Amino acid sequence: MEPKKVSWKAEALIYKGNKRIAVHFENTPELNGRIKQLWDARWSSTLKCWHLPDNQENRKRFKIDCHAEESEDIKEFIRWLRSKRYSESSIKTYTNAIKSFLRFYENKAIGEFSNSDIITYNNEYILKNKLSASFQNQVVNAIKLFFRIRSDILLNPELIHRPKREKVLPNILSKEEIKQILSASKNMKHKAMLCLIYSCGLRRSELLNLRLKHVDSGRKLLIIKQSKGKKDRVVPLSDKIILQLKDYYRHYKPKVWLFEGQYAGEKYHERSLEQVFKQALNSTNIIKPATLHWLRHSYATHLLESGTDLRYIQELLGHSSSRTTEIYTHVSTKNLRNIKSPFDDLNI
């Protein structure tokens, strides 16, 4: 369900002893059909609304504030993370994850937790609600950090096991599909943003954090500051994207950020950028459920297929480990297309 396309209101509540999220919207067959597709969605004739499990995915989906009324334990955890110079994005991820765990044991004191409680949480909350292994891993990270700084616990953070690693291949688009998406946007700013993401393999946050001074057109370089893992890196700018950025600058004249929002000096919003991509995608005949991050995956795969050394691709993407970059070898079709199937030799 995409709640922001309709008038809606969501709130967390306790319903029949269970933590739920109530969703209020116009009662139409179309909207009712859409919310029915969400796991464990139920209609309440008493509340006159639909309600769903109060979990991390639904809180994110319906924009429920996860930071409301933080306990002193959570506040202390946030202060510790900041003192260790974790990024605000990582702090938000870890605090939301530990809140999910602590909410599951609402009436349990911090010092009473044991390792068996984590196994129960994994089975009765994460697996029962069909949450991803990725989210489970985030919770493991959060628990390890949260309980490592405490001395009044029975739980041993070093004995917490992680979920079995999923082997998920990155999603990519063909060069023709990329061309369709980048050509679909008629707005100069929107087109420049999408083109720069693909041409340099940028993450969403990396694009939005670019300042004017980070574009070195003379040396044909884009400087990316303090990206994931607090790392700086440079990536090459093609002549074609430099000309496009110059046209964009002459037309929009941004003041601080390379791509600014409605007001001068205001950073472009990430949700607006996601919407720009969706609008471009919807203007094509592509039926794949593509997301903005697919542009980065496609950039890496297309570089690999054109013969670029994997070590250079690792540097361009800002990966700390070559193992992360090696996954693109599994989706590159350059060599696979040259393999002849033994089926072709059968005279049938």
Please confirm, yes or no, whether 269 is among the known catalytic residues. no
Find the catalytic residue in 19, 228, 233, 278: 228
Distance CA 20, CA 223 (A): 45
Please confirm, yes or no, whether 296 is among the known catalytic residues. yes
Is the CB of residue 78 less than 8 Å from the CB of residue 95? yes
Q: How far apart are the first and last CA of the chain?
A: 48
Residue 301 main-chain phi, psi, to 5 deg: -70, -40
DSSP assignment of 159-176 equals: GPPPPPPP--PPP---HH
Find the catalytic residue in 59, 204, 296, 297: 296
Please confirm, yes or no, whether 328 is among the known catalytic residues. yes
Please confirm, yes or no, whether 36 is among the known catalytic residues. no
Q: Cα–Cα–Cα angle for 18, 24, 25, nearest 5°?
A: 150
Whole-Å CA distances, 88 to 208, 237, 303, 310, 336 = 15, 29, 32, 31, 42
Please confirm, yes or no, whether 150 is among the known catalytic residues. no
Is the CB of residue 304 less than 8 Å from the CB of residue 332? yes
E strand map for the chain: 8-15, 18-25, 42-44, 49-53, 215-216, 221-224, 233-236
Q: How far out from the chain centre does Cα 47 lie?
A: 33
Please confirm, yes or no, whether 293 is among the known catalytic residues. yes
Length of the chain: 348
Instruction: Determine the 3-state secondary structure of 261 from DSSP.
Output: coil
Find the catalytic residue in 19, 103, 189, 203: 203
- Residue numbers annotated as active site: 203, 228, 293, 296, 319, 328
